Amino acid sequence: MGIDARQDSGAPRGRVSASLRLSIGLAAAGWLAAAPPSAAQARRIRLDLSSQAVVAATRLSPAPGGGRLTEAQVEQPLVMVHAAERSGKIRLDVALDFEGLTMPDGVAGIGTWGEGFVDRRHPHTYVHEIMLSATHALSEQVGVSAAAGKGFVSFGTDDPMNRPVLRFPVNHHWAQVLERAVVLGGVRLGPAALEGAVFNGDEPERPGQWPNADRFGDSWSGRLTVRPVTGVEAQLSRARISSPEHRGGSGLPQDKWSASARVRGAVGAGSGYLLAEWARTAEADGFFVFTSALAEVQLEWSPHRVYYRFERTSRPEELRAFDLSRSVRPHLDDAILGITRWSVHTVGYAIRLPRLPRWLFAEPMTEVALGHAAHLSGAFRVEDFYGRATFASVTVGLRLRQGPPHRMGRYGVMREADQGATGEHVH
């Protein structure tokens, strides 16, 4: 049975929050900035503007509490603005996410959870990323950088919005740490890059919320990335996050590890992509341990794209609210009723539409996901809550994009390493 835990889902109806006003203002500034610059400006500043969205409909069975669920929403509505002085040494990256308007109650997904949502992927904050970075080359093989703002910390793998599958993986909160107030430093030594970051531990509770400034610096992360040859990238990350799920700081800390290998390259007349990752998060000094193993692959030959992902991830089963797709917040350790393991197969196909303007990318797509949930520990029983332990979903949609793609979360020496690489964005 759920508990009535009414939550602030954002700005009150009829009002626009200060965060949303700032987001809209930044978006407007980006569109204005995209106007042709003067000759003097063109010599100093390089500007890029891009946007994307996915219009999708999903049918999920079973939904929380049993039964079927069908819904249609606009997902991943992003406006991205990038400004850099011509040498590229100083760069501003802004990504505005309007999911708080288009999908305020999240979007259904097998096993997806986080930030108070269960079996639904939460909307991200309106200001998804706003980072200023500076890079300096000491030699051809050595470079240093610093970055600051709100964005991704140096931990784990790419934002799922940069990857082939539309449905977010169950391990999103084990494999990435984002939307934090962060200061980050990096050094590049030939094919290797080492990054370190300090940031606030608290996760957002609603789309219009900013990081808790009083908690800045209570968490840290580090990541070593190696690119031995073109198209091959491996990383190992470590993080210590203080009370991520309790904004006041009274929740459990998390100790996190992540390791992955990523390959991109030509396959016959097309291209291929492969990601394999492992993640581990321990809470309460190892009293709760959550693990994830994931692999995804894509083959692309114009205009076709096929992809597949498998993951096996454990997640906490938290005390639910009356809305069974939400968990009680603020989260404390005694709200964890058990641990389940989710095994999910996802396969998809997409085809790019021809005869469109060069600046417009449009791609109809479909995905089918099949999953199974198993009891690992605690009092929570999957069959009792859902009616069965097997799950299925079907999604059809249209992916739209304007302008150059952007690999979010890459700052300083990591962004520099991406310069000139082809196919970094897998959509």
pLDDT by residue (tens digit) across 258-303?
A: 999 999 999 999 999 999 999 999 998 888 999 999 999 999 999 9
- CATH for 18-418 is 2.40.160.10
**Residue 21 has what pLDDT?**
52
**Residue 35 has what pLDDT?**
44
* 36 burial type by CB count under 10 A (0-12 exposed, 13-18 middle, 19+ buried): exposed
Q: For the stretch 280-305, what's the b/e string if a residue is b when 16 or more beta carbons lie within 10 angstroms of its beta carbon?
A: bbbbeeeebebbbebbbbbbbeeeeb
**Residue 331 has what pLDDT?**
65
pLDDT-derived band at 342, boundaries 50, 70, 90: very high
Domain boundaries in the chain?
A: 18-418
* 187 burial type by CB count under 10 A (0-12 exposed, 13-18 middle, 19+ buried): middle
pLDDT-derived band at 334, boundaries 50, 70, 90: low
- Selected residue with higher pLDDT from 22 and 405: 405
Whole-number Å distance between alpha carbons of 203 and 124: 11
Whole-number Å distance between alpha carbons of 78 and 95: 7
Asked which of 236-240, 311-315, 316-320, 360-364 is least confident by mean pLDDT, the reply is 316-320
pLDDT-derived band at 162, boundaries 50, 70, 90: very high
pLDDT-derived band at 186, boundaries 50, 70, 90: very high
**Residue 333 has what pLDDT?**
60
| Span 197-205, average pLDDT | 96
User: What is the amino acid identity at position 74?
Assistant: V
pLDDT by residue (tens digit) across 1-50?
A: 344 333 443 333 333 455 455 444 444 444 444 444 445 455 588 899 99
What are the structure tokens assigned to 373, written together? 């949930």
- Answer yes or no: is pLDDT of 427 > 70: no
The structure's pTM equals 0.87
Percent of the chain with pLDDT strictly greater than 90: 74
- C-alpha 143, offset from chain centre: 27
